[in-house]
Amino acid sequence: MSGGGRSREDGLYAITLSPIGDTVVCRREETVLSAILRSGAKVVFGCRGGGCGTCKMRLISGRVEHGRCSAAVLLEEEEEKENGSFLSCQARALSDLTVELTATNKYRGPMAAWRWLGCSDS
């Protein structure tokens, strides 16, 4: 577990994606990556098994259960966790989260395709 944050009895957590500011809802049983993808947003990921490290993100606030992490991916696992790093394909929210996205994550929000096509959401 990492950071502070309040857990919610309903098992639904808000994940705020920084610096973008988008927020997605995460269910108790799903991973952070699954919640982001279910929202319609896109991020880069690889194996979904914790082996490649492509989906690594950084926790700014809140608490996560890290799940199983590959030693090959997080060589200095405890130091990585202390710095807030986690594998979004393995981690589950235990509270509302704020997660830092990097250029490596290549985030595209759920409305990116509509904006690209020149459509509006109104």
Distance (Å, whole) CA 71 – CA 14: 29
CATH of the domain at 44: 3.10.20.30
Question: How far are the Cα atoms of 9, 62, 69, 70, 83 from residue 76, in angstroms, in the given order?
Answer: 33, 21, 11, 11, 11
- Answer whether residue 72 is part of any domain: yes
User: Over 60: is that where the pLDDT of 26 sits?
Assistant: yes
Residues paired with residue 64 on neighbouring β-strands, in sequence order:
93
**pLDDT (0 to 100) of residue 74:** 55
pTM over 0.75: yes
According to DSSP, the β-strands at 97-100 and 12-18 are: parallel
Average pLDDT estimate for 76-95: 82
Residues paired with residue 16 on neighbouring β-strands, in sequence order:
23, 98
Domain boundaries, position 34? 12-116
User: 73 falls in which pLDDT band (50, 70, 90)?
Assistant: low
| Residue position matching structure tokens 């319609």 | 40
Average pLDDT estimate for 49-77: 78
| Residue position matching structure tokens 């309040």 | 6
Out of 34-38, 85-89, 111-115, give the one with best mean pLDDT: 34-38
State the total domains in the chain. 1
- Answer whether residue 78 is part of any domain: yes
